[in-house]
Structure 1
Amino acid sequence: MRQRSRGRIVLAAVVATCAVGALPGQALAVGDPDPYVFDSHAKRVAGAPASTDAQELKAGSTYRSAIKPGGQLYYQVELDADSNAYVSAVAVPKLGPEAKVGYADGIKVTLQDREGDSCDYNDDAVFGSAQYPRPIAAYASRTIKKGSTSCRTAGPYYVLIERTTKATSAQEEWDLEIRFDTEPGLKAGSGGPTEAPSSWPSATPVPPSGKSGRAQGGTGFNDAAALKGGVWDDRIKPGQTLFYRVPVDWGQQLFATADLGSSPGNGYVGSALTVQLYNPVRAAVTSGDTAYDGKPKSAAPDPVAPVAYENRYSTSDAVNGARMAGDYYLAVTLSPEVANKFGEKEYGLTLRTSIKGTAGSPPAYAGAVPDFSAGGGDGTGNGTMKLVGVTGIGAGAVLVLGLGAWTVGARRRAGAPTAQQQARTQGRPQVQAQGSQPQGPSQASQSQQQYGPPSAW
């Protein structure tokens, strides 16, 4: 993630402010955890209790819905006979002192044909031993495999989202963010492996050390802070979940750890810090957690295989999930119980990310190489440009706003900066993590891909 001059950071702040009005979390009371930031382009859709009333979801689109305890909701998608399909659902429970979830509470996503038969992969997500509310995600997929006849015909299919909630848990509705993506199959006769690798390097490398960069974790997939290999410092509140995204290319392997800083006090909190790794289509891959007793602690998701197309033929989540290049997401949550034992305050959080392996070429897709990267971000753990990306402002509008801001800035450079200008430039990351190096998915337009605005700005 590249550094930018102060002037470019001011410009990014101006554009982001014009686009969204305020950064996430500004309207919250001090000390409250930020809510999940939904996709600003997401369309509202109501799930139907019966398949005959299911509303259609379009490929490449994001939707907002809601589900009650014990709910079973149907949606419809249209599939061709050759593409892989992925449908994910992020469940967002209410936060607060009255919020309560159980071990087996969660959601399940199923993709069905018109006979009610499930396609090849259906996933559920539960809170497990970390029994506190936080965003969780599950997905279902249809993978085109040689010799498989399951869900291979073109036509309408159904997405079923189910919620499990104990009677002793909070009974409020959960918000849902639903995403539907497709991926082209491979060209006929393109060859390549048709089985998952039998072995891969699972030894965790020495975590990076040295000078830290500053990160500002997002509150969801949509405003996740962009990171590369290196050491990143952030702050986290009890009950808060912070999201980060790391671009991982074909042939590359991601390793990550989250370190929680020490704090005065006595006590013990089990599963205090959890780290969940998701792949570019929001499929949970691996996770890790740690207890907390006031001493420094570290949590890390289990190692995953180097990204390869043939990984999808594996039954192991650590292999199957690393099936495509793009942005991989880290969701880091600090238990609200930490506040009861060690105080309601921000805690130091250090992320250490390593990307091993040389970037390779994408497989021989029959269609355009899919872009599973979120884009945006300035390469220093800052998600400001991502906010611009999700507002729907066209390139021409952004350019006009940028030139206007640049002209105003040029006229004012002869005098002292105003308080507003100083506020815009304070707190913006300026340091690149030591030893970091550019990483990014090998898409068709990779040569044009960059973080932040064009250098001409």
Structure 2
Amino acid sequence: MGRRTAWWRAVCRVAVVVAVLCAAGAGVPSAVAAPAPIPYGFSPDATTVPGVGSTADAVRLDSGRTYRSSLPVSEDVYYRLELDGTSHAYVSATAVPPADAAVSASDGIRVSVQDADSRSCSSETEAFGGGSSARPITAVAMREPSAERTRCGGAGTYYVVVERVGTTTVDDVAWDLELATFSEPPLEEAAPTGAPETSDSASPAPLTDDAVRRDGGAGFASAVSVGQGVWRSDVTPGQTVFYQVPVGWGERLYATAELAGSGEASRLVVGALELSVHNPVRAPLDDASLNYNGSQRSTSLDPLPPVAYENRYGNTDRVEGMRFGGSYYLVVHLGAQMAERFGEGPFAVTLRVRVDGSEGSGPAYDGRFQPQDVFASPMGVGERGVVPSSGGGGAGDDDALMTVVAVSGIGGGTVIVAVLGVWTAAGRRRAS
């Protein structure tokens, strides 16, 4: 009875949403003004916690969880970790300044993990770079246990420190902050300690398939899943979009971004488009940018090595970060300065994604990753590279249905009838 009541409520909600969409669209002309840049999409499961200026009151962050906090202008903020003596711990910090914030190339954030004696386990700094356009930026620090050193090697209390770097002014305000914690268990047998062999660094041939429309998500949690293929999206100045690409053990990822011509020439916009790649713990591995003067332009990431456990012993971020299979992220940002030279847009961006290599099973771990879904073996890629949802008749089906309803151009009455019909059929299948 409860399921049937919930089902009918869902029917009514969908019908109302469709009716509102159709009514609103009835009087809207075909040429619609470009929307404002979409703000960062924080994880809906994020727990809000305070960042404090002392370790004494630091809030505990649990493994496999996501948190929302705030980063002051000129004060370091602390959080607490309770770690065992065998797992690798990773903490990512994504800073989200206001869309109209004035930032310079050297402005950014630094995140560190320290032990109880203030000794640094690791630290990473990420800056906005040459484009100087306010956007979400992410830095990741870690604790790697090691039998060869006593610092940061044992179980106990550790602290996460997040701070702003660069210059600040009296007009600056606090930035929003998303924190995500990850835990990698030890291997069942002794881990390899040798550096990886040099892999083929040649850029693969670009894909020439027809582009398929796929708009990106607004954050890591809402990143839209894509596989190998050519994907097209319309992006407005100041907007950042996120894509998730499953990459298995032994596979490697390569991507190119293209910004279409605008039909008019103008002075050069430096850093008009930024493309970056992040690994499953959100660590930035590589980035590329392009300058734009109205003519079509493209930029490519350097070829990444195949995913392998021993990559962690490499000597660059882009090698070290390819240390586990799972969800990798492609992040595209269109500089806010584009609006000053070429208008509000949107502008067509084409993303060419290639995943090649022979997928393997990976090493045997003595335990589970936290959270498990980020590191799970990549699922089979379905039609047009979309990773299918697991199970039938679940939330994934409902989301897909709402997407079809939202983007369809069918008349209001026809859409409502079609939606009710689909829900009725789904209800009968569930009831049986």
TM range (shorter): 0.7 to 0.9
- 1:346 Cα deviation after fit: 0.8
Deviations 1:117-175 (A, max 9, x none): 011x3111111112010000001001234523331111111111111252348511110
Q: Which amino acid letter does the alignment assign opposite residue 98 of structure 2?
A: K
Match of 2:110 in 1: 108
Structure 2: runs of 5+ lacking an equivalent = 1-6, 19-23, 25-32, 402-411
Match of 2:300 in 1: 300
**Partner Cα separation in structure 1 for residue 338 and residue 279 of structure 2:** 28
**Partner Cα separation in structure 2 for residue 68 and residue 180 of structure 1:** 21
Match of 2:407 in 1: none
Match of 2:259 in 1: 260
Match of 1:418 in 2: 414
Provide the secondary structure at the position in 2 that maps to 1:327: strand
Cα 1:191/1:223, change in 2 over 3 Å: same
**Partner Cα separation in structure 2 for residue 424 and residue 212 of structure 1:** 32
Deviations 1:307-359 (A, max 9, x none): 11111112311100101111110110111111111121111111101111111
Structure 1: runs of 5+ lacking an equivalent = 1-10, 390-394, 406-415, 426-452
Map 1:239-318 onto structure 2 (within 5 A): 239-267=238-266, 268-318=268-318
Provide the secondary structure at the position in 1 that maps to 2:367: coil
Match of 1:319 in 2: 319
**Partner Cα separation in structure 2 for residue 226 and residue 205 of structure 1:** 22
Deviations 1:50-104 (A, max 9, x none): 01110101111100000111220000011000000000110011113xx211121
**Partner Cα separation in structure 1 for residue 62 and residue 383 of structure 2:** 31
Q: Which amino acid letter does the alignment assign opposite residue 415 of structure 2?
A: A
Cα 1:323/1:341, change in 2 over 3 Å: same
Mapped contact 2:111–2:162 kept (Cα < 8 A): yes
Cα 1:210/1:378, change in 2 over 3 Å: closer
Cα 1:342/1:421, change in 2 over 3 Å: farther
Cα 1:367/1:134, change in 2 over 3 Å: same
Provide the secondary structure at the position in 1 that maps to 2:120: coil
Mapped contact 1:264–1:342 kept (Cα < 8 A): no
**Partner Cα separation in structure 1 for residue 296 and residue 395 of structure 2:** 46
**Partner Cα separation in structure 1 for residue 397 and residue 155 of structure 2:** 45
**Partner Cα separation in structure 1 for residue 178 and residue 417 of structure 2:** 36
Q: Which amino acid letter does the alignment assign opposite residue 342 of structure 2?
A: F
- Identity value in percent: 39
Mapped contact 1:247–1:373 kept (Cα < 8 A): no
Cα 1:365/1:55, change in 2 over 3 Å: same
**Partner Cα separation in structure 1 for residue 112 and residue 414 of structure 2:** 55
Mapped contact 1:228–1:379 kept (Cα < 8 A): no
- 1:297 Cα deviation after fit: 0.7
**Partner Cα separation in structure 2 for residue 84 and residue 277 of structure 1:** 21
**Partner Cα separation in structure 1 for residue 321 and residue 395 of structure 2:** 38
Provide the secondary structure at the position in 2 that maps to 1:318: helix
**Partner Cα separation in structure 1 for residue 175 and residue 413 of structure 2:** 46
Mapped contact 1:101–1:165 kept (Cα < 8 A): no
Map 1:354-433 onto structure 2 (within 5 A): 354-368=354-368, 370-373=372-375, 380=384, 398=394, 418-420=414-416
- 1:400 Cα deviation after fit: 13
Mapped contact 1:69–1:165 kept (Cα < 8 A): no
- 1:423 Cα deviation after fit: 8.7
Between structures 1 and 2, the one with greater helix share: 2
Provide the TM-score with structure 2 as the length reference: 0.81
Match of 1:220 in 2: 219
Q: Which amino acid letter does the alignment assign opposite residue 414 of structure 2?
A: T
For the pair shown, which has the larger CA radius of gyration, 1 or 2?
Answer: 2
Provide the TM-score with structure 1 as the length reference: 0.77
**Partner Cα separation in structure 2 for residue 166 and residue 83 of structure 1:** 36
Mapped contact 2:272–2:291 kept (Cα < 8 A): yes
2:159 is the counterpart of 1:158: yes
**Partner Cα separation in structure 2 for residue 422 and residue 379 of structure 1:** 23
Provide the secondary structure at the position in 1 that maps to 2:132: coil
Match of 1:206 in 2: 205
Kindly indicate whether structure 1 or structure 2 has the higher relative contact order, using CA contacts under 8 Å at least 6 residues apart. Answer: 1
- 1:177 Cα deviation after fit: 0.4
- 1:38 Cα deviation after fit: 0.5
**Partner Cα separation in structure 2 for residue 400 and residue 213 of structure 1:** 20
Map 1:2-151 onto structure 2 (within 5 A): 30-96=34-100, 99-119=101-121, 121-151=122-152
**Partner Cα separation in structure 2 for residue 306 and residue 123 of structure 1:** 23
**Partner Cα separation in structure 2 for residue 131 and residue 338 of structure 1:** 12
CA RMSD between the two structures = 3.3
**Partner Cα separation in structure 2 for residue 169 and residue 198 of structure 1:** 50
